[in-house]
Structure 1
């Protein structure tokens, strides 16, 4: 057999069902961590710095897990499923521990642990779809995955609000975490573990011999020997850029979190220099040289998609950090995180997040496939990104918080497209043997913009828009427009 068998609807369901629980965890994190941090006394200006744990762990974890899962085979457990299971177990334990946080520092550390665990589970799921499906089912596979992401996010986002409707206390008594959030996190931990376990139990991966037969000769060259031929010039550029950023923090009086950005640039410069040295020294099997070599040898299509991803995820991270303070301050007139009006606004944000995720689940199975068949995947993504830009911009013109439900329709379409279209375009063009590492490296362009927002947005807001968090939505709308423009180059490449 040289082609994978077609998966039935039940097969598509089982392959991606674990993402339902993973996204419950992400949704609880995205909708409630700013609320938890502010409940413990964090200022709005501190939120980007506290949130930096989430993208930083993704940056470090996903390429490593992608590299390892490409090379793992544990008999009946396969190569991706061991990582599903281990990450889900750790994430579930983190969700149970988070509401027990006694102080801000503990909550920040638990966010780090939670996000690392979620990334351990999530990264192999992206590659798992490519592993299990033939190319003509990739779009359907990622659409089903996106639908589960949307459905899981609806459940995770709306659960605290739903508990309040049933009489559970939504008051942050004595600076603690409200019972609505506490019980929602515990429910989310159980649901996450159960859904990932479903995928682990109901699926069986193709063994290495079968995967080799399916791949045929269409495999990528090893990038490590090519890395050995490179000079250290690019490493020196990264090191110089990191040094310049660190110098600028003191000279321009930027926020101290910008030091992290400089440290990351320096870190990559050192890592690339070490990888080149190892490759030149005849050590082809080391993980560092493999990751750096594959990063520098990315296909052209992946590089163009990466630019669109960079701008897309900048906008999303701005939204996740700032929607709660925006809604509470601009629409509910509450800046004090312990006040009932602030908690009311924060609960409405749960509804808004559930709405855009619900729209995404529906759009992934209806609107996006229809558009993709008519105008192509790249142009469909352009339409989706522009819908999201319109949704963000509408925050400035709507008179009441209830009208923000309309904004979430455009944001939901964009979210569905961001989760489905780039991966469907990419999966069909990547070599099977390196699907995990390339999907992990593609996540770099999901994570780096979040780090940039986390390190720079606080300085921008404090300097130009102090006390007016709604202006972050203007940045979000603008970056989605830039993402749409970047997709024009992808469209030209895919159409030849």
Structure 2
């Protein structure tokens, strides 16, 4: 007999999702400032995407396995997903703290690899936890609350180096040395990451498996049997998952382009700064982080509005996602045309609308379309549609496409990102399953 899941209050959902604050501190710092670290250590602009390659490659392998293992884990005290939260937090904290102390490109790329893999060990079980704990009527609400927390984390973390500079922490350093403002920011991020995930672990209880005998039998099948099950689930994934996969491909290709190129593109095009040892460049890079924080802030506000709305009314998930992605695409394209730096706040506000939707609506649609007993492994498999576009982009996809379609100037990467988000928006038209698209 299926478990009857009671509806949870806002604060109960907040507590079980609070660890995402730390996860997003990690993602925002790596997305906003790893390219700055790479440039400081001597990387050429066109080489930056390749330095990101290890992270998504690892995610392609790690996330389905972590999802499968978390589906088949249970302890009366530690639960199902929480052990993965904890071990992911430990390794993420270490990697985040050490990343800005890298003295060579291979060290920074290695730190990014460990950081991204470790964050993903925690992240996918967090997605599965929402589906584990909430009835279908609260799924959109639950994922939107996660997005609210993610928006808070993005905004604060993206502004940390700028804030450190305002407190008097040095924002420049000798050639090949990462400024102290960035080191302090990553250190604070490491502390927040670990403590916020620990808060969720201490404040959240999990449901036990519905049928313990069946659960134990499946659990004892062995690791290689588990790998074959992952492959089987990939080959038999629901149609909705495949359709969402195309939307995700274009969406995450666009955001990988932003994370890789926003700093070099905007510091050069808007601020005219290219010397990584100069005050002008480092101040401009801080400003880029500040503008990137805008998309986190707006995603937080947008998620707050959605949280209120979805707690009371039903929504058309597909239409909402489609319009949100279209707004983000226009935001990226506008970056190319603006004349004043302050207008970046407008551009990234539109991007923030897309970001809030990307972090909630696809997961809400997916969670209504898969077997709840396999929620972890399907969330892990679904993450393939996040990492595959990043791999394609890192292996030369970004460099090839932006130069082919728009020209050599690095600011053209933002035109590419905008085009990709518009394609993602239109791809939603392929999703026709009403159970997935409507609350």
The two structures have a TM-score, normalised by structure 1, of: 0.82
For 1:211 and 1:459, locate their aligned partners in 2 and report how far apart those are by CA, in whole Å.
52
For 1:289 and 1:201, locate their aligned partners in 2 and report how far apart those are by CA, in whole Å.
34
Give the conservation status (yes or no) of the 8 Å contact 2:15–2:200.
Answer: yes
For 1:29 and 1:131, locate their aligned partners in 2 and report how far apart those are by CA, in whole Å.
29
Alignment of 1:157-168 (within 5 A): 157-168=158-169
For 1:309 and 1:493, locate their aligned partners in 2 and report how far apart those are by CA, in whole Å.
19
Shift of 1:87: 0.3
1:377 corresponds in structure 2 to 317
- 1:112-167 C-alpha deviation (Å, 9 max, x unpaired): 11111101111100001100111111111101100111111111111111111111
For 1:5 and 1:375, locate their aligned partners in 2 and report how far apart those are by CA, in whole Å.
21
Shift of 1:458: 2.7
Tell me the secondary structure at the aligned position of residue 339 of structure 2.
coil
Give the conservation status (yes or no) of the 8 Å contact 2:145–2:307.
Answer: no
2:339 corresponds in structure 1 to 399
Alignment of 1:271-420 (within 5 A): 286-367=225-306, 370=309, 373=313, 376-420=316-360
The two structures have a TM-score, normalised by structure 2, of: 0.93
1:133 corresponds in structure 2 to 134
1:71 corresponds in structure 2 to 72
Give the conservation status (yes or no) of the 8 Å contact 1:159–1:184.
Answer: yes
1:240 corresponds in structure 2 to none
1:11 corresponds in structure 2 to 12
Give the conservation status (yes or no) of the 8 Å contact 1:45–1:462.
Answer: no
Equivalent of 1:457 in 385, 398, 411: 398
Give the conservation status (yes or no) of the 8 Å contact 2:332–2:417.
Answer: yes
Shift of 1:332: 1.1
For 2:233 and 2:193, locate their aligned partners in 1 and report how far apart those are by CA, in whole Å.
32
Shift of 1:329: 0.7
1:116 corresponds in structure 2 to 117
Tell me the secondary structure at the aligned position of residue 360 of structure 2.
helix
Q: Aligned pairs, how many?
A: 430
Give the conservation status (yes or no) of the 8 Å contact 2:128–2:379.
Answer: yes
Alignment of 1:182-193 (within 5 A): 182-193=183-194
Give the conservation status (yes or no) of the 8 Å contact 1:284–1:290.
Answer: no
Q: Is 1:447 aligned to 2:387, yes or no? A: yes
For 1:315 and 1:198, locate their aligned partners in 2 and report how far apart those are by CA, in whole Å.
32
For 1:342 and 1:420, locate their aligned partners in 2 and report how far apart those are by CA, in whole Å.
35
Greater Cα radius of gyration, structure 1 or 2? 1
Q: Which runs of 4+ in 1 moved over 3 A?
A: 209-213, 282-285, 367-375, 459-467, 491-496
> Cα distance 1:409–1:491, how it changes in 2: closer, same or farther (>3 A)?
farther
> Cα distance 1:283–1:5, how it changes in 2: closer, same or farther (>3 A)?
closer
> Cα distance 1:130–1:464, how it changes in 2: closer, same or farther (>3 A)?
closer
- 1:276-323 C-alpha deviation (Å, 9 max, x unpaired): xxxxxx999612211111001001111111111111111111111110
Residue ranges of structure 2 left out of the alignment (5+ in a row): none
For 2:403 and 2:89, locate their aligned partners in 1 and report how far apart those are by CA, in whole Å.
38
For 2:356 and 2:136, locate their aligned partners in 1 and report how far apart those are by CA, in whole Å.
20
Shift of 1:469: 0.8
Shift of 1:333: 1.0
1:235 corresponds in structure 2 to none
More divergent stretch after superposition (118-127 vs 374-383): 374-383
Shift of 1:493: 5.1
Give the conservation status (yes or no) of the 8 Å contact 1:66–1:439.
Answer: yes
Shift of 1:342: 1.5
For 1:17 and 1:370, locate their aligned partners in 2 and report how far apart those are by CA, in whole Å.
21
Name the Cα RMSD after superposition. Answer: 2.3
Equivalent of 2:371 in 400, 419, 431: 431
1:487 corresponds in structure 2 to 428
Give the conservation status (yes or no) of the 8 Å contact 2:100–2:183.
Answer: yes
Q: Is 1:470 aligned to 2:411, yes or no? A: yes
Tell me the secondary structure at the aligned position of residue 25 of structure 1.
helix
> Cα distance 1:283–1:122, how it changes in 2: closer, same or farther (>3 A)?
closer
